[in-house]
C-alpha cells in the first residue's frame, strides 16, 4: 500500500483526509479515500468493486440497494431483503423490505450475532452459521495493522509498504 494522510483544517489535531492505493496478491488493485473535508458530502460511505465480469456499488446514504453492473448488460438494482436476496442477506435484515434500515440496525445485528456465539459456546453447541460473519480478534488485529501501514507509508512520503499476510 501507499498512502497520504493529511490535515486540511487549521488547528485540527487529527487527520481529516486519507488516500490509499492498494495492490493485492493476484494482481488486483484498489483505492481507498476517507475524508471529513469533502465539501458538499455528508458521510457518504460508498463501496465499489469492479472485476472482469461485473461491478457492484453500495452507498450508505441509500443503504437498501446494491447496484450490480454485469459487463455488456444493463445495471441491476438489488433491494435489501427482496427477491434474489441470499439467506445471509435475509438474516442481516431486521425489518421487512420497503422500510428503511441502516446504521443502528447494523450495530443491533452485530450485537445479536455476538450474543448468539456466546450463548452457543455456553450451551456447548455450534453457533448458527449466519452469526459467524461478526468480525473477531483476527480481523481487529488486521485492522490495526492496516492503519499502522497507512501511517507508516504516509510518514515515508507515500512510499509503498507491505502489510503482514493476515494468515
Residue spans per domain, the chain:
2-156
End-to-end Cα, the chain, rounded Å: 18
Q: pLDDT averaged over consecutive 10-residue blocks of the chain (167 residues)?
A: 96 95 94 93 88 94 90 92 74 72 83 96 96 91 96 98 82
Residues 6+ apart with CB under 8 A from 158: 2, 3, 4
CA angle 109, 76, 55 (to 5 degrees): 80
Question: Which CA distances in Å does 33 have to 60, 114, 166?
Answer: 15, 30, 22
Give the CATH fold of the 2-156 domain: Dihydrodipicolinate Reductase; domain 2 (3.30.360)
Position 167 scores a pLDDT of 61
What whole-number distance in Å separates Cα of residue 129 and Cα of residue 144? 26
Position 83 scores a pLDDT of 74
DSSP alpha helix (H) spans, the chain: 87-92, 103-123, 137-155
The residue whose grid cell reads 445479536 is 112
| Side-chain-side CA neighbours of residue 95 (13 Å) | 10
Predicted model pTM: 0.78
Neighbours of 166 (CB within 10 A): 10
Residue 14 host element (H or E): none
Position 148 scores a pLDDT of 97
Position 85 scores a pLDDT of 74
Amino acid at each position: 500500500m501507499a498512502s497520504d494522510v493529511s490535515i486540511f483544517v487549521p488547528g485540527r489535531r487529527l487527520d481529516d483526509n486519507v488516500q490509499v492505493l492498494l495492490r493485492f496478491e493476484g494482481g488486483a488493485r484498489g483505492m481507498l479515500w476517507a475524508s471529513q473535508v469533502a465539501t458538499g458530502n455528508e458521510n457518504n460511505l460508498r463501496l465499489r468493486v469492479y472485476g472482469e465480469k461485473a461491478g457492484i456499488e453500495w452507498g450508505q446514504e441509500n443503504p437498501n440497494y446494491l447496484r450490480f453492473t454485469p459487463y455488456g448488460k444493463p445495471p441491476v438494482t438489488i433491494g435489501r431483503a427482496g427477491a434474489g436476496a441470499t439467506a445471509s442477506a435475509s438474516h442481516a435484515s431486521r425489518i421487512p423490505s420497503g422500510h428503511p434500515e441502516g446504521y443502528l440496525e447494523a450495530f443491533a445485528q452485530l450485537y445479536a450475532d455476538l450474543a448468539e456465539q456466546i450463548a452457543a459456546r455456553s450451551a456447548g453447541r455450534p453457533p448458527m452459521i449466519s452469526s459467524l460473519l461478526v468480525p473477531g480478534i483476527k480481523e481487529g488485529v488486521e485492522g490495526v495493522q492496516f492503519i499502522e501501514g497507512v501511517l507508516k507509508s504516509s510518514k515515508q512520503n507515500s512510499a509503498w509498504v507491505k502489510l503482514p499476510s493476515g494468515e
